[in-house]
């Protein structure tokens, strides 16, 4: 068993609270006591744990992060940003993977009740007015990412603007029969991206054909509904629906996520068609895989969203900020090969 804070306290002839205050550079320790404790720490080669560091400050130095699922590319990028920011400030991270909505409520209520963490990040999940009020009353810092509540701090991306840019790009390339593959319409990003798609068609006076818009709500397969439909299986299934329209199929498709686009490309190739020669496509997210696919897409700063959310949460925990905070990241078009050019997939 390794050296503990109790070993240091015993050899230095002080209490564990004193050791903890020395570790945390508290001004309440006399120079002689500080020197004696630091000498013992050096002799025993003691490595303070996060829990030991927190004793004097009555903090755990632990952040809870609640996500729908952390296997998706979007969550991977966001969590990378979160972890980077936390590691810079000496905080540890606990991940809660939510597979059912009722589990989210249970975890948030338990977090409030037990107070074993200093703050909470809630990613791509909504929160009720009642629970939001409870967090505010308890003064337990909470920051939302990819979701919003008017009483809480949140960081989101301009989903509607991004979808508009994607659709507008296809229109400017000369396409008039444009389809869309969306996620589950219970997801706020899916609703917002559909609104952006429709807005672009309306602004350019292009009639919308409902047969060319496929959301995954109409499919009951758990594999397709996984991660709110933002997955490769959903993209593959939805693209097959569009291709089965025959000569009424679209000439271009806006796809709500890059991972859906990967599945859609597979379906296109299986039909003996080429991208972009027979069908132009554009995705959303700009995950790392998009570059290797040559996928034209809409970039959203996932890593930066995670970093900013963690930094904001830490600032709230440490009492450095008290104002209401919202950050809305813009999106940008990243042009590669799948909407035109000489290269084909």
pLDDT of 53 reads 54
Mean pLDDT in residue range 228-255 = 94
Ranges of H-type helices in the chain: 5-12, 16-23, 31-44, 50-54, 73-89, 101-114, 129-138, 159-172, 188-203, 222-225, 232-243, 258-270, 288-293, 302-317
Distance CA 41, CA 47 (A): 8
Judged against a pLDDT cut of 70, whether residue 217 lies above it is answered with yes
> What pLDDT shows up at residue 295?
97
Q: Report d(CA 289, CA 295) in Å as an integer.
A: 9
> What confidence tens digit (pLDDT) does each residue in 107-123 have?
999 888 888 899 999 99
The pLDDT tens digits of the residues spanning 144-191 come to: 999 889 999 999 999 999 999 999 999 999 999 999 999 998 888 999
Its pTM stands at: 0.79
Q: What is the dihedral of CA 26, 31, 34, 39, to 10 degrees?
A: 150
Mean pLDDT computed over 64-79: 84
Query: Which of 59-68, 128-137, 242-251 is the least confident region?
Result: 59-68
% of the chain at pLDDT higher than 70: 92
Between 256 and 17, name the one with better pLDDT: 256
pLDDT digits (tens, 9 = 90+) for 278-298: 999 999 999 989 999 999 999
pLDDT band at 85 (very low <50, low <70, confident <90, very high): very high
pLDDT at 344: 43
Q: What percent of the chain clears pLDDT 90, i.e. is strictly above it?
A: 60
Q: Is the pLDDT of residue 135 over 90?
A: yes
Greatest mean pLDDT range, 73-77, 167-171, 187-191, 228-232: 167-171
Looking at the predicted structure, is the pLDDT value of residue 51 above 50? Answer: yes
**Per-chain mean pLDDT for the chain:** 89
In the prediction, which pLDDT does 281 show? 97
Tokens representing residue 96 in the block: 């809660």
- Give 155's strand partners: 145, 327
| Residue 194 pLDDT greater than 70, yes or no | yes
Token pair, residue 28, equals 């309440």
- Whether residue 242 contacts residue 267, with contact meaning beta carbons closer than 8 Å, is answered with no
The domains located in the chain, with CATH, are 5-54 (1.10.260.40), 62-157+302-329 (3.40.50.2300), 159-300 (3.40.50.2300)
pLDDT band at 72 (very low <50, low <70, confident <90, very high): confident
CA distances from 21 to 25, 61, 63, 75 (A): 6, 15, 22, 37
Residue with the bigger pLDDT between 109 and 98: it is: 109
Spatial contact of 193 and 159, defined as CB atoms under 8 Å apart: yes
Long-range CB pairs of 36-43 (<8 Å, 24+ gap) are 36/12, 37/8, 37/12, 39/12, 40/8, 40/11, 40/12, 41/8, 43/11
Pairing verdict, β 119-123 and 92-97 = unpaired
In the predicted model, is pLDDT for residue 318 greater than 50?
yes
d(CA 254, CA 333): 12
Mean pLDDT of 115-137: 91
**C-alpha distance across the termini of the chain, in Å:** 57
Q: What is the mean pLDDT of residues 234-257?
A: 96
- pLDDT of the residue at 30: 87
How many residues does this entry show for the chain? 345
Residue 64 pLDDT more than 90?
Answer: yes
Task: State mean pLDDT over 301-324.
Answer: 93
State whether the Cα torsion 316-321-323-329 is positive or negative.
Answer: negative
pLDDT on residue 54: 53
Bridge partners, 255 (sequence order): 181
């Amino acid at each position: 068993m390794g050296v503990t804070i109790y070993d240091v306290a015993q050899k230095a002839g002080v209490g564990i609270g004193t050791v903890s205050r020395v570790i945390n550079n508290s001004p309440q320790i006399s120079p002689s006591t500080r020197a004696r404790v630091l000498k013992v720490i050096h002799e025993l080669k003691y490595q303070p744990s996060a829990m030991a560091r927190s004793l004097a400050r009555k903090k755990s130095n632990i952040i809870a992060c609640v996500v729908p699922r952390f296997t998706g590319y979007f969550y991977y990028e966001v969590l990378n940003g979160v972890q980077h920011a936390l590691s810079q400030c000496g905080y540890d991270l606990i991940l809660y993977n939510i597979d059912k909505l009722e589990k989210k409520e249970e975890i948030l209520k338990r977090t409030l009740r037990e107070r074993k963490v200093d703050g909470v990040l809630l990613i791509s999940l909504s929160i009720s007015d009642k629970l939001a009020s409870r967090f505010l009353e308890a003064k337990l810092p909470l920051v939302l990412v990819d979701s919003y509540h008017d009483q809480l701090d949140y960081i989101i991306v301009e989903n509607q603007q991004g979808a508009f840019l994607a659709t507008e790009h296809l229109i400017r390339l000369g396409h008039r029969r444009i389809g869309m593959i969306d996620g589950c319409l219970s997801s706020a990003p899916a609703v917002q991206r559909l609104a952006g798609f429709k807005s672009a068609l309306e602004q350019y006076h292009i009639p919308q054909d409902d047969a060319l818009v496929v959301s995954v709500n109409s499919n009951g397969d758990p594999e397709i509904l996984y991660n709110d439909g933002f997955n490769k299986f959903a993209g593959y299934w939805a693209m097959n629906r569009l291709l089965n329209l025959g000569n009424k199929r679209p000439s271009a498709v806006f796809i709500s996520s890059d991972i859906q686009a990967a599945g859609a490309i597979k379906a296109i190739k299986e039909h003996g068609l080429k991208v972009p020669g027979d069908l132009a496509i554009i995705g959303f997210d700009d995950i790392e895989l998009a570059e290797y696919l040559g996928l034209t897409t809409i970039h959203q700063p996932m890593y930066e969203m995670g970093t900013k959310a963690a930094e904001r949460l830490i600032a709230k925990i440490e009492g450095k900020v008290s104002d209401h905070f919202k950050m809305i990241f813009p999106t940008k078009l990243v042009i590669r090969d799948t909407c035109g050019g000489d290269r084909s997939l």
